[in-house]
Amino acid sequence: MSTRALFRPILTQLPRATRRGVIPTAHPLLARSQWSPPQSVLRSFTSSSIQWRFQDITKFAKGVPITYEELKPITEAPNDDILLIDVREPNEVVQGTIPSAVPLPLSSFEKSLSMDEGDFVKKHGFRKPTKLQPIVFFCKAGVRAQTAIDLAKKAGYKHLRNYEGSYADWIAKDQANAHDDD
């Protein structure tokens, strides 16, 4: 009995919806099949979050500075994919910060990156970023954030962006947007 004969009953018993479409033709058996992924899979793969990830990961890899307009949606729908780090000192952070940001002061930054995961979590209260995790840094005006990026690159981190306007820019633009909404 040939392989084709073994699989013919299986392929003909598949629901009609799963037999439509085109799939890679590397294997002769697959080439004759008309299977395609369900529409729900296609919809989830082309969702806006996935699409955003593919479009913006290049900017993270190249280290292109992030703008207020790019950062605002990230803060409105925070997730574990992108980490927003405030490198200002604790006495500055208490005056206010960007929503969803975690504090990691520049004064302890380099030492913190060399800690193991457990010690990092105990000291800072959040998980240590992975080397490939997209990270946005900010401070008061962008200078210390760039220093943090340089230190992170030296430690092997890859997908880093600086919010050059930093907290000063955030406050100015956030207040301007609040007045526009009135």
Backbone angles phi and psi of 129, in degrees to 5: -65, 150
| Per-residue pLDDT tens over the stretch 74-112 | 999 988 889 999 999 999 999 999 999 999 999 999 999
Flag whether pLDDT at 49 surpasses 70: no
Residue 139 designated active-site: yes
Quote the mean pLDDT of the chain: 79
Q: How many percent of the chain have pLDDT more than 90? A: 57
Q: What's at 50, amino acid-wise?
A: I
Tell me how far apart the alpha carbons of residues 48 and 42 are, in angstroms, rounded to a whole number.
12
CB-based burial label for 28 (10 Å; 0-12, 13-18, 19+): exposed
Domains located in the chain, CATH noted: 17-46 (no CATH), 54-181 (3.40.250.10)
The two three-digit tokens of residue 146, written as one number: 């760039």
Q: Please identify which of the residues 98, 101, 139, 152 carries the catalytic annotation.
A: 139
Task: Dump pLDDT digits (tens) for 134-179.
Answer: 999 999 999 999 999 999 999 999 999 999 999 999 999 988 887 7
User: Higher pLDDT residue, 101 or 22?
Assistant: 101
Query: Phi first, then psi: what are they for 163, rounded to 5°?
Result: -90, 90
The one-character DSSP state at 129 is P
The encoded tokens of residue 156 equal 């092997």
Q: Residue 73's Cα: distance from chain center in Å?
A: 12
